[in-house]
């Protein structure tokens, strides 16, 4: 029984360590990106859209697909996308294949901001996650 409890505690400790690394990294990302008018979740959406358009212009994601990739609730993502659209960084449009769906596309302004801020985000990730995130 004692070995089982110890094994269970190791898992719990690992889980808590992961949560701590995530929280510290997210705080650092928010702090670094704030200077550019973005939060970590804003950047994640721009980064996802930029990766979709790197092969050519006009690529877009359905809002539902973005939500699955950036781990936000549908309502939180809707507010975030609306804010990015107000700032001229993305556009929203109806899905041709499903009129109930909404597609999001990166604008030229969004692509330019993403390119400018990408090194900042990558530097924070490198610093915070190097060696297991002991940042």
The predicted-structure confidence for 18-77, as pLDDT tens digits, reads as follows 999 999 999 999 999 999 999 999 999 999 999 886 554 456 788 888 988 888 888 899
pLDDT of 79 > 50? The answer is yes
CA distance 116 to 128: 20
Domains, the chain, ranges and CATH? Answer: 2-132 (1.10.10.10)
What is the predicted pLDDT for the residue at 95? 63
Q: 122 or 130, which is more confident?
A: 122
Please give the pLDDT value at position 135: 44
83 band by pLDDT with thresholds 50, 70 and 90: very high
Distances (CA, A) of 128 to 40, 87, 109: 14, 29, 28
Long-range own/partner contacts, residues 86-89 (CB < 8 A, 24 or more apart): 87/37, 89/46, 89/113
Q: Which has the higher per-residue pLDDT, 103 or 25?
A: 25
Q: Do 110 and 102 meet the contact criterion of CB atoms below 8 Å apart?
A: no
Tell me: pLDDT of 96 over 80: no
pLDDT of residue 35: 95
Q: What is the mean pLDDT of the chain?
A: 87
Q: What pLDDT sits at residue 67?
A: 87
Q: Quote the pTM value.
A: 0.82
């Amino acid at each position: 029984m004692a070995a089982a409890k110890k094994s269970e505690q190791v898992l719990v400790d690992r889980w808590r360590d992961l949560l701590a690394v995530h929280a510290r990294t997210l705080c650092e990302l928010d702090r670094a990106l704030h200077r550019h008018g973005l939060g970590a979740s804003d950047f994640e959406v721009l980064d996802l859209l930029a990766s979709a358009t790197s092969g050519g212009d006009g690529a877009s994601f359905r809002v539902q697909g973005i939500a699955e990739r950036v781990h936000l609730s549908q309502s939180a993502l809707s507010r975030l996308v609306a804010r990015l659209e107000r700032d001229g960084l993305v556009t929203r449009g109806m899905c041709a294949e499903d009129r109930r769906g909404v597609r999001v596309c990166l604008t030229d302004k969004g692509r330019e901001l993403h390119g400018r801020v990408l090194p900042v985000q990558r530097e924070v990730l490198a610093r915070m996650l190097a060696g297991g995130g002991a940042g």
